[in-house]
């Protein structure tokens, strides 16, 4: 029992060496299973000092292992807590971004609807103005046509008078006298 057992019995088991604790438990199991049985009984004869030394080593090592396990659990809980907080922060950030994009989309859609309404209104107003302009121009052209017709009639009358005078000038005084 002097080889590995003495090594375990002299020093506490280092933190993180679960295999040492397992080895000590296996040694206890071996001592009990290899112990000489009492006749007509399920009891066994074991070397008390060997068992007490292994148990003492276990007692010294277990608090360190428990402390280490608690530290690992605490660290794991902190990591989980940070991950949860980070997840919530990312989720909140995603919600804000979604709302911004939805809002932006709604603004774009509202702006598009307003632009379409304004374009339809402008088109209607343009048709109205075009119709009024066409009626105005038509009226002016009709008036101009009347003025031109009157002017042409006056020109024709003037030309006819001129033509009549020319004929009178072309007739000689003799022709005028014979008739007279």
pLDDT of residue 61: 76
* Distances, alpha carbon 85 to alpha carbons 81, 127, 165, in Å: 6, 62, 115
pLDDT digits (tens, 9 = 90+) for 139-154: 999 998 999 999 999 9
Mean model confidence pLDDT for the chain: 81
pLDDT digits (tens, 9 = 90+) for 163-177: 887 776 666 556 555
How many C-beta atoms surround the C-beta of residue 124 within 10 A? 10
For 13, the 3-state DSSP assignment is coil
pLDDT of residue 93: 92
For 3, the 3-state DSSP assignment is coil
Classify burial at 20, counting beta carbons within 10 Å of its beta carbon; exposed 0-12, middle 13-18, buried 19 or more: buried
Spell out, as residue ranges, where the chain has pLDDT lower than 50.
1-16, 180
* Distances, alpha carbon 178 to alpha carbons 5, 28, 165, 170, 172, in Å: 177, 176, 19, 15, 10
């Amino acid at each position: 029992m002097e080889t590995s057992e003495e090594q375990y019995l002299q020093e506490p088991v280092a933190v993180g060496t679960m295999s040492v604790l397992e080895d000590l438990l296996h040694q206890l199991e071996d001592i009990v299973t290899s112990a000489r049985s009492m006749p007509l009984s399920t009891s066994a004869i074991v070397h008390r000092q060997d068992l007490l030394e292994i148990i003492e080593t276990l007692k010294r090592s277990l608090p360190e292992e428990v402390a280490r396990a608690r530290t690992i659990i605490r660290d794991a809980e902190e990591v989980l807590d940070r991950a949860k907080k980070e997840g919530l922060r990312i989720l909140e950030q995603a919600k804000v971004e979604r709302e911004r994009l939805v809002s932006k989309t709604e603004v774009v859609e509202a702006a598009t609807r307003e632009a379409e309404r304004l374009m339809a209104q402008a088109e209607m107003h343009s048709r109205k103005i075009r119709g009024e302009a066409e009626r105005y121009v038509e009226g002016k052209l009709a008036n101009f046509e009347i003025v031109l017709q009157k002017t042409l009639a006056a020109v024709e009358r003037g030309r006819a008078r001129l033509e009549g005078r020319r004929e009178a000038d072309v007739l000689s005084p003799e022709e005028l006298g014979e008739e007279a």
